[in-house]
Amino acid sequence: MRIATLGPAGSNHELVAGRYLQANAPGGGEIRLLPTFEEAFAALLAGDVDRVLQCTAHPTHGECVGRYMHRLFPVDAFIAGSKPLAVLARAEVPHPRTLGLQPATRHYTDLSGYDELIEQPSIVTVAEGLLAGQFEAGICALEVLDAHPGRLRLVEDLGPALDVWAVFGPTPLPATDPRVY
C-alpha cells in the first residue's frame, strides 16, 4: 500500500501513517510525504498512491472532502494520538510574546498571553522556526525539548492530541460494507 500524507518528516501525519501501515499493510508499505493535501489528493487521482491519510482536525479537511466528492472516497476512519505536544520557549526569553503554531493546535491551550500568533504548516516547521529564532515560543512536539537541551524550556506540557483520521481511496466502499451506514 502506498499512502500519501502531509509532510515534512517527523510530522504527526507521518507518525500515524506508519501506524496505519503497520496495522493494514502487513507486507509493508510506502509513505509519501507531500507539502500539501492538494498534492496528496492529486497523487491519488493520478494513481501514484493507493490512499491519502488526513487528520480531520487539519484546516483543509472539509475543503478536501468537498473538492474531491464523487472522485475520491473515504474508505476508513480511526482515532489515533499524536506525539506528546508542548508549548516550548527559547531558553533566553523569559516572557515570550510571539508564538508559532500549526492552526489545528490553536485551541489546545490559552494563548491570550501572546501578542502575535504565527501560523506554520506543521508542528515540525514550528520547531524549526522556534530554533531559528523566528518566534519566541511554539506549540510543537515535546521531544524537541530533549533534542535541544539548553536552547529551549518547557512552558506547558499539552500531552498527545487524540484525533480522528480519515483515509481516502479511489473507489467507494460497497454499500454492504459494515462501515457504511
Mention the CATH class of domain 2-82+162-169: alpha beta
Residue 100: the pLDDT is 98
**85-159 classified as CATH 3.40.190.10:** yes
Domain coordinates in residue numbering, the chain: 2-82+162-169, 85-159
pLDDT in tens, 121-180: 999 999 999 999 999 999 999 999 999 989 999 999 999 999 999 999 999 999 999 989
Contact 165, 53 (CB under 8 A): yes
pLDDT in tens, 29-58: 999 999 999 999 999 999 999 999 999 998
Q: Under 8 Å CB-to-CB from 60, ≥6 apart: which residues?
A: 36, 37, 38, 54
pLDDT in tens, 66-78: 999 999 999 999 9
Task: Tell me which residue has cell 531558553.
Answer: 91
1 pLDDT exceeds 90? Answer: yes
